[in-house]
Amino acid sequence: MTTLSNVTRRGALALATGALALGLAGPAAAEVDFSGKTIEWIIPFSAGGGSDTWARFNAPLMSKYLPGNPTVVVVNEPGGGSTKGTNLFAARAKPDGLTILGTSGSTQFPYLLGDPRVRYEYKDWKIAMAAPTGGVVYTTPALGLKGPEDIGMLKGKDLVYASQGATSLDLVPLLGFKQMGFTVQHVFGFKGRGDGRLAFERGETNIDYQTSSAYIKNVQPLVDAGTAVPLFSWGVLDAAGNVVRDPTFPDLPSFPEAYQTLTGNAPSGPEYDGYVAFFTAGFPAQKMVFLPKDTPDDIVDAYQAAFEAMKADPEYQANAESVLGTYEQVTGPLAQALFDKGTTIAPELRTQVAEMLAADYGVKLGEE
């Protein structure tokens, strides 16, 4: 199993970075020149969510370090739980390096589940960068909670959650809330997690989660103002593959800790295994940057070199943690390992989750 602990991740990053530097020292990468060009970075989500925040933080630094200093423009193409914009990329992107795609767990999940809206194949793409992330679940103080220790007060409450869809990244909270025994109405059809947060702020929902970057930027101010109460983080994987506390949010319990507070027992069993499978694809292997498969290697190398170079930039080092959290953005072999892990699932777990979605939510995969 690919380890995602801080120590191992940094070690792998160092090896990958060293190999990349050797591989790109020659003239191949130098032959790429994007001077005067505009690169479109397709984000298949609405503005204001975690993927949008991530892309807009990286875009100007990419412009600085890609050969020829092209303009990098973030293009939001929301819809279909992220399948709309991703399908557009798959159908239209040319292998010239001028169009890249940023995916999320919400893009991986429909693919893993065989969602009929998917018209893309991950094996048709080359990965340029991968970015593990986390997420935090929060609720409203109107329900009487003051902190994570009060999570038991949610048992029996009527909870409402703004969802992009049952096969989007919101499958993780759907499975997690179900495991916890919460009574949650999942309102499907929102175009992004940013839209979900706005629904929460308007009082239309009373439980929500945001990926780390969006939580830090948009939800922590709500917590500071007393209008939101954090409950738990999804957590991260340690070297043994166990879910542990997210170092970005060390004061918040992880999902297993919150579950144990609720029930008195550690989570286990087939339902938990299904949850962990999609959590892994959705968070440790969440955000990735892709180019079409026919993109020449020198262009892919130039992108990877730019991502590595920008991480040494003082602006990146000064702001990355406050915007993205304590997660490394990686290239090379580690990015490929995350790519492989995030787009693969055991058939029995896929079947288990698909059957639950059909029985409980009327979501019948494979049917138009």
Q: What is the pLDDT of residue 29?
A: 45
| Cα 86 from Cα 115, distance rounded (Å) | 13
Q: What is the pLDDT of residue 28?
A: 42
DSSP secondary structure string for all residues of 60-102? HHHHHHSTT--EEEEEE---GGGHHHHHHHHHH--TTSSEEEE
- Tokens linked to 283: 């968070």
Check residue 253 and report its DSSP letter.
Answer: P
Are residues 206 and 139 in contact, defined by beta-carbon separation less than 8 angstroms?
Answer: yes
Q: What is the pLDDT of residue 30?
A: 53
| Cα 279 from Cα 325, distance rounded (Å) | 18
**Protein fold of 135-281:** D-Maltodextrin-Binding Protein; domain 2 (3.40.190)
The shares of helix, strand and coil residues in the chain, as percent rounded to the nearest 5, are 50, 15, 35
| Cα 58 from Cα 208, distance rounded (Å) | 26
Q: Do domains 6-132+284-347 and 135-281 have the same CATH topology?
A: yes
Are residues 193 and 164 in contact, defined by beta-carbon separation less than 8 angstroms?
Answer: yes
Of the candidate CATH numbers 3.40.190.150, 3.40.50.720, 2.30.30.40, 3.30.70.2660, the domain formed by 6-132+284-347 belongs to 3.40.190.150
Q: What is the pLDDT of residue 70?
A: 98
Rg over CA atoms, the chain: 20
| Cα 251 from Cα 256, distance rounded (Å) | 14
φ and ψ at residue 19, rounded to 5 degrees: -65, -40
Q: What is the pLDDT of residue 180?
A: 97
Q: Which residues of the chain have pLDDT under 50?
A: 1-29, 367-368
| Cα 130 from Cα 103, distance rounded (Å) | 9
| Cα 88 from Cα 69, distance rounded (Å) | 26
What residue segments make up the domains of the chain, in order of their start?
6-132+284-347, 135-281
Nearest to 56 by CA among 41, 45, 69: 41
Q: State the maximum Cα–Cα separation within the chain, in Å, rounded to a whole number.
A: 64
Nearest to 164 by CA among 81, 78, 263: 81
212-234 tens-digit pLDDT: 989 999 999 999 999 999 999 99
